Amino acid sequence: MGNLMTSAVSATDAIMPVQQQQTPTTQHRGTHKSEGEPPPECPMHKSIQKQAPPTYSSECPINDMAPENINPLNMMPPANQQPAPDQPFPLPTERQVSSIPKATGDEKFWVYPSQQMFWNAMLRKGWRWKNDDLTPNDMDNIIKIHNANNEQAWQEVLKWEALHAGECTSPKLRSFGGKAKQYSPRARIRYWMGYELPFDRHDWIIDRCGKDVRYVIDYYDGGMVDERFTFALLDVRPAMDSLENIWDRMRVAWLRWKYCNKSQESECATKSEAK
């Protein structure tokens, strides 16, 4: 089940466009590197060597697909809602509509994959269900984990986009893709400092009222799943590929330092008065 919690964030590369929907429904920090084995990775566990960053298997479940079969908005093949030949139990095909606005097409929001689509995506990755002894309830939890982490990522994006509220009040997600093997400079620096590498990375392209802005999202293992079905720790920030993004990151770094110091001073003053 540990392997599958990780794949709940990455195996289907987040979300899929609503035009592929068949039966829709309504509706950072890293942890310090441990001395033992690292958290298991999907679809197989690989140990991290101290001398160099590990090479994880690709998080994109469709690397072997022909380019003409790939949707460029989410780097995914067409939706597959058919049960696998050796599937041990039937899975729902209903899909949840996300809260993430869609920048292209007539549909307003992106749609998450169904349990059946998620199962098929994991099989394309090389995962074999017999190794994990899954139950239908496990798949239900996996989908909830996957969806919750993407909703959390969108909320983090909106915090950054609030810096440009005067320019655009309705940012939307244009496209996204997984880049698990391409560790960001920030993730590598953290690794050199003794922290774990993220188990996955996504790049999201945000439509800021006509301007495309790239965000980098690193996913770190956060331990046990909580009551909101979140377990990944997300590091979301604009990519440093434009002067505007660099300036945003400098501003936020200053604000964090400033208000963190003020908070510490207030806490110290309260303790002094108590004495």
89-99 residue pLDDT tens: 899 999 999 99
CA contacts within 13 A on the Cβ side of 186: 18
Report how far residue 119's alpha carbon sits from residue 4's, in angstroms, rounded to the nearest whole number.
11
- Does residue 233 surpass a pLDDT of 70? yes
Q: Tell me whether strands 109-111 and 172-178 are parallel, antiparallel or unpaired.
A: unpaired
Q: What is the pLDDT of residue 211?
A: 96
Q: What is the pLDDT of residue 78?
A: 59
Look up the pTM and report it.
0.68
pLDDT tens digits along 126-150: 777 776 778 888 889 889 988 998 9
Give 155's pLDDT tier (boundaries 50, 70, 90).
very high
DSSP state of 101: E
> Furthest-apart CA pair in the chain: how many Å?
70
- Does residue 36 surpass a pLDDT of 60? no
Q: What is the pLDDT of residue 234?
A: 92
- Does residue 215 surpass a pLDDT of 90? yes
| Bond into 40 cis (ω within 30) | no
| Bond into 43 cis (ω within 30) | yes
Let me know: does 242 contact 212? Beta carbons within 8 Å. no
Report how far residue 224's alpha carbon sits from residue 1's, in angstroms, rounded to the nearest whole number.
11
Q: What is the pLDDT of residue 20?
A: 46
Higher local confidence (pLDDT), 106 or 90: 90
Return the structure tokens found at 156. Answer: 């983090």
Return the structure tokens found at 75. Answer: 């780097």
Whose structure tokens read 């505007």?
244
